[in-house]
């Protein structure tokens, strides 16, 4: 398989970009012609950002698994689709060919049907990074069930909220998951999440860690036993399960993500548009060549794993490497061993991982053969120049282009990025919009920013003025929330929540979130969400959470907390608050610093002045600005004095 729509030169990029703006429908329908359809579309695009409503390829019918699996069988059934590297390097690896993966997906799709799961039903997947996670995801897609993968680091409470919101009737999980030296009891967390839940009637459990688990009669079933039954059915019928016929705009999956208000929302992606976007961006950004080994280090619980471990690579017939462990266990040479062992060609990871590995010095890289690497990528947060150069020099040996890919859960795939070896990479700049992407910078009032500063740079809030195929369609069960969150701040535009700079050549540099969203180790957290969790703790009166620069995580979480009284022991209270946050959200949301305060800086109308709290957390005490409009200016001085360093 080659990719006729793979852009090879800078001139071709400019051509493709111009055409994607001038005649988007013709542009995307030409690309869509290279996919497998059960029926082609009646219309390429219908859209309106006010409602909002976006429909790509209306009238078309397809199944994404036919594009990811069946179409590769004639010539790739023996080619590795997934190479799986276990947490513990002394355990055997697993390699699933396209033939194997196809068969396993069909069997597990049969298991889902046998358990009464139908097209449109929501299936929640809470598993470690084992091949069965990929199989479960694709099996849902095969029968048209909507998958919602939940990252293994979320707590029972978080899962319970998501199950409710999605109205999920089925969960696929593992007994436990290995992560470095830890053995995380996933099934026990699910059991807790299911207390009081009356909608889930099926829990399918894959045995990974062999931890003891409770299995409830009639509700809980072992993966292996169910797969055995499905194999018998296939033997009897003589054929594997065909793929369900899906409409282009049927939902494919829900993925929960944090915003500036309330509980996480379920971002909905649909069948055809998402497939084309994941594939097109995979092929073009990474410049994938058939036969290459692609290693994306993300977890499938995040959008990066959905798009660049599974759907992008598999729809392109690529070999994708799936890693169960963490970068620093059993030692910080883990990534480099994997690159060496499998002769990885493309490595896609997060700035936080790079910074963390940098901190171990160069020893872990010694004697590792990284010469197979051809392309490096980063995602999740702005990459600082120091980390960029280290990645370029020490990992890429000065020889591999780095793609700095800017995108979001809501965008389905990369929107702004250089293309490896085709368009230039600039340290700390995501660079150019991909074909189909029409960014615009606006000021607070929604007026387009056009005036460059003395260096030729325009600065503003990053929006999109035209839909691309992978844009979110709604937030599950609450379309109004989708509208107010993304399409109402600046009427007629999709607002990303990020600030950005643009240079005279049209390159973009992302400066970070301009809303109350934190980016901690590439994970998105709402300040309100963390505050709500802290406020759940007995004795807490009020709290305010802000981000501050953190050497490894990018941003750390700084919490200012008012308590009723302190029982004398701050350490104990801190521990208890951390435990509460872990329980409510998950360990990833635990504040790095907790400062007990007697009051918070508020305006006369009662709004917390986060700007001041941010400055204090950052240690910029001289730049607190005008505090005279505060209800109680004295409180600022007290907070600044008690700042935790």
Task: Quote the CA–CA distance of 248 and 509 in Å, as a whole number.
Answer: 34
Q: Which of 100, 226, 404, 531 binds ligand WT7 (CB under 6 A)?
A: 404
409 vs 595, which CB is nearer to ligand WT7? 409
Closest approach, Cβ 154 to ligand WT7, in A, equals: 13
Question: Considering Cα of 381, then 385, then 390, then 395, what sign does the dihedral take?
Answer: positive
Helix (H) or strand (E) holding 501: strand 494-502
> Closest approach of Cβ 121 to ligand WT7, in Å?
25
SS3 31: helix
Among 497, 526, 554, 591, binds ligand WT7 (CB under 6 A): 497
Q: Distance of CA 43 to CAs 22, 29, 275, 473, Å?
A: 17, 9, 17, 17
Length of the chain: 645
Among 405, 438, 461, 543, binds ligand WT7 (CB under 6 A): 405
The stretch near ligand WT7 (CB under 6 A) out of 102-110, 375-383, 467-475, 590-598 is 375-383
CB nearer to ligand WT7: give 202 or 418. 418
Residue 554's alpha-carbon distances to 225, 387, 403, 546, 547, in angstroms, are 44, 11, 19, 13, 9
| Closest to ligand WT7 by CB, 187 or 524 | 524
Residue 113 contacts ligand WT7 per CB under 6 A = no
Choose the binding region for ligand WT7 from 157-165, 202-210, 360-368, 406-414 (rule: CB under 6 A): 406-414
Q: Can residue 345 be called a binding residue for ligand WT7 (CB under 6 A)? A: no
Binding mask 281-320 for ligand WT7 (x = CB under 6 A): ----------------------xx----------------
CB of 298 to ligand WT7, least distance (A): 7
Distance CA 598, CA 542 (A): 10
* Dihedral sign, Cα of residue 510, residue 512, residue 514, residue 520: positive
Q: For residues 508 and 463, give the distance between their C-alpha atoms in angstroms, rounded to a whole number.
A: 12
The whole-angstrom separation of Cα 119 and Cα 117 is: 7
**How near is the Cβ of 416 to ligand WT7 at its closest, in Å?**
8
Contact window for ligand WT7 (CB under 6 A) among 317-325, 400-408, 592-600, 603-611: 400-408
Q: Which two tokens stand for residue 41?
A: 């579309």
Applying CB under 6 A, does 515 fall inside the site for ligand WT7? no
Between 430 and 482, name the residue whose CB sits nearer to ligand WT7.
430
Which of residues 372 and 489 has its CB atom nearest to ligand WT7 in the complex? 489
- CA Rg value for the chain: 24
Please tell me what DSSP assigns to residue 406: B
Residue 603 and residue 626: Cα distance in Å, rounded?
12
Residues 464 and 492: their CA atoms lie apart, in Å, by 9
- Given a contact cutoff of 8 angstroms between Cβ atoms, the answer to whether 643 and 616 are in contact is yes
Pairing, β 458-464 against β 80-85 = unpaired
Rounded distance, CA 274 to CA 331, Å?
Answer: 37
Q: Does 5 bind ligand WT7 (CB under 6 A)?
A: no
Looking at the Cβ atoms of 289 and 511, the one nearer to ligand WT7 is: 511
- Measuring CA to CA, how many Å separate 504 from each of 37, 425, 501, 619? 41, 16, 10, 34
Instruction: Say if CB 562 and CB 598 are below 8 A apart.
Output: yes
* Residue choice 407, 429, 468, 548 for contact with ligand WT7 (CB under 6 A): 407
User: With contact defined as beta carbons under 8 Å apart, do 272 and 347 qualify?
Assistant: no
In a 3-state reduction of DSSP, which class is residue 425? coil
Q: How far is the CB of 462 from ligand WT7 (least distance, A)?
A: 8
Q: Which of 510, 577, 613, 624 binds ligand WT7 (CB under 6 A)?
A: 510
3-state secondary structure of 239: coil
- The interface region with ligand WT7, picked from 67-75, 196-204, 403-411, 559-567 by CB under 6 A, is 403-411
CB-CB neighbours of 85 under 10 Å:
21
Q: Which residue's CB is nearer to ligand WT7, number 142 or number 524?
A: 524
Based on the shown chain and the rule CB under 6 A, indicate whether residue 516 belongs to the binding site for ligand WT7: no
Among 67, 104, 270, 496, binds ligand WT7 (CB under 6 A): 496
Stretch that binds ligand WT7, among 107-115, 277-285, 391-399, 494-502 (CB under 6 A): 494-502
Nearest-approach distance from CB 481 to ligand WT7, in angstroms: 16
Nearest distance in Å: CB 403, ligand WT7: 9
CA–CA dist 303, 299 (Å, integer): 8
Asked whether 87 and 180 are in contact (CB, 8 A), the reply is yes
Q: Which of 122, 221, 294, 513 binds ligand WT7 (CB under 6 A)?
A: 513
By CB under 6 A, name the one of 257, 292, 352, 418 that touches ligand WT7: 257
DSSP string, 307-331: IIIIIHHHHTT-EEEEE-S-TTSS-
List the one residue from 382, 396, 412, 470 that touches ligand WT7 (CB under 6 A).
Answer: 382
Q: Which is nearer to ligand WT7, 208 or 509 (CB)?
A: 509
Q: Are 407 and 468 in contact (CB under 8 A)?
A: no
Residues 409-448 binding ligand WT7 (CB under 6 A) are 409, 430
Closer of 243 and 379 to ligand WT7 (Cβ): 379
379 near ligand WT7 (CB under 6 A): yes
Is residue 69 within 8 Å of 314, Cβ to Cβ? Answer: yes
**Residue nearest ligand WT7 (C-beta atom):** 409
Closest by CA position to 522, among listed 387, 349, 361, 401 = 349
Q: Which of 173, 271, 319, 408 binds ligand WT7 (CB under 6 A)?
A: 408
Q: Which part of the chain contacts ligand WT7 (CB under 6 A), choosing from 312-320, 376-384, 467-475, 540-548?
A: 376-384
Q: How far is the CB of 535 from ligand WT7 (least distance, A)?
A: 24
Any bridge partners for residue 85, and if so which?
Answer: 323
Nearer to ligand WT7, 58 or 261 (CB): 261
Indicate which single residue of 176, 364, 380, 433 sits in contact with ligand WT7 (rule: CB under 6 A). Answer: 380
Both tokens of residue 417? 């990025």
The sheet carrying 439-442 orders its strands as 439-442, 458-464, 494-502, 508-513
Q: CB-wise, 28 or 429, nearer to ligand WT7?
A: 429
Q: Which positions touch ligand WT7 (CB under 6 A)?
A: 257, 303-304, 379-382, 404-409, 430, 496-498, 510, 513, 519, 522, 524
């Amino acid at each position: 398989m080659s990719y006729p729509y793979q852009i090879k030169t800078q001139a071709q990029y400019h051509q493709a970009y111009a055409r994607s703006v001038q005649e988007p429908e013709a542009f995307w329908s030409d690309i869509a012609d290279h996919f497998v359809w059960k029926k082609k579309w009646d219309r390429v695009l219908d859209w309106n950002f006010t409602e909002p409503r976006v429909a790509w390829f209306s009238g078309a019918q397809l199944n994404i698994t036919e594009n990811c699996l069946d179409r590769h069988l004639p010539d790739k059934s023996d080619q590795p689709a997934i190479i799986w590297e276990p947490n513990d390097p002394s355990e055997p690896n697993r390699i699933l060919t396209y033939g194997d993966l196809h068969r396993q997906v069909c069997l597990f799709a049969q298991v889902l049907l046998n358990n009464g799961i139908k097209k449109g039903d929501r299936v929640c997947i809470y598993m470690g990074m084992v091949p069965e996670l990929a199989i479960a995801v694709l099996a849902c897609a095969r029968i048209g069930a909507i998958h919602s993968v939940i990252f293994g680091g979320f707590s029972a409470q978080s899962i319970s909220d998501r199950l409710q919101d999605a109205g999920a009737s089925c969960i696929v999980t593992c007994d436990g998951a290995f992560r470095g030296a830890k053995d995380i009891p996933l099934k026990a967390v699910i059991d807790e999440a299911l207390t009081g839940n009356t909608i889930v009637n099926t829990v399918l459990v894959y045995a990974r860690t062999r931890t003891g688990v409770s299995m409830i009669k009639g509700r809980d079933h072992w993966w292996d036993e169910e797969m055995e039954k499905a194999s018998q059915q296939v033997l009897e019928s003589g054929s594997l399960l065909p793929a369900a016929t899906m409409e282009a705009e049927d939902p494919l999956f829900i993925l929960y993500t944090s915003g500036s208000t309330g509980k996480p929302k379920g971002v909905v992606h649909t069948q055809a548009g998402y497939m084309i976007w994941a594939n097109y961006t995979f092929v073009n950004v990474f410049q994938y060549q058939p036969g290459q080994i692609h290693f994306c280090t993300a977890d499938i619980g995040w959008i990066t794993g959905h798009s660049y471990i599974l759907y992008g690579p598999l729809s392109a017939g690529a070999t994708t490497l799936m890693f169960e462990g963490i970068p620093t266990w059993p030692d910080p040479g883990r990534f480099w061993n994997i690159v060496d062992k499998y002769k990885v060609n493309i490595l896609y990871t997060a700035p936080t991982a790079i910074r963390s590995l940098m901190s171990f010095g160069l020893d872990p890289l010694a004697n590792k053969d990284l010469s197979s690497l051809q392309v490096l990528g980063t995602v999740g947060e702005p990459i600082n120049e120091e980390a960029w150069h280290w990645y370029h020099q020490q990992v890429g040996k000065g020889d591999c282009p780095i793609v700095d890919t800017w995108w979001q859960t809501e965008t389905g795939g990369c929107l702004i990025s250089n293309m490896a070896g085709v368009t230039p990479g600039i340290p700390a700049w995501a660079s150019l919009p991909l074909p189909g992407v029409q960014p615009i910078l606006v000021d607070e009032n929604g007026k387009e920013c056009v005036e460059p500063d003395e260096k030729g740079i325009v600065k503003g809030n990053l929006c999109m003025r035209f839909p691309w195929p992978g844009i979110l369609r709604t937030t599950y069960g609450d379309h109004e929330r989708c509208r107010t969150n993304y399409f109402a701040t600046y009427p007629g535009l999709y607002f990303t929540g990020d600030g950005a700079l643009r240079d005279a050549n049209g390159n973009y540099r992302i400066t970070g979130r301009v809303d109350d969203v934190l980016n901690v180790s590439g994970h998105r957290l709402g300040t309100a969400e963390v505050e709500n969790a802290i406020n759940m703790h007995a004795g807490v009166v009020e709290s305010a959470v802000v981000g501050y620069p953190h050497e490894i995580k990018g941003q750390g979480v700084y919490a200012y907390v008012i308590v009723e009284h302190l029982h004398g022991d701050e350490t104990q209270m801190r521990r208890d608050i951390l435990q509460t946050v872990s329980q409510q959200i998950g360990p990833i949301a635990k504040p790095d610093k907790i400062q007990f305060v007697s009051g918070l800086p508020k305006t006369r109308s009662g709004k917390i002045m986060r700007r001041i709290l941010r400055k204090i957390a950052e240690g910029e005490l001289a730049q607190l600005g005008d505090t005279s409009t505060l209800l109680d200016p004295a409180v600022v001085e007290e907070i600044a004095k008690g700042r935790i360093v």
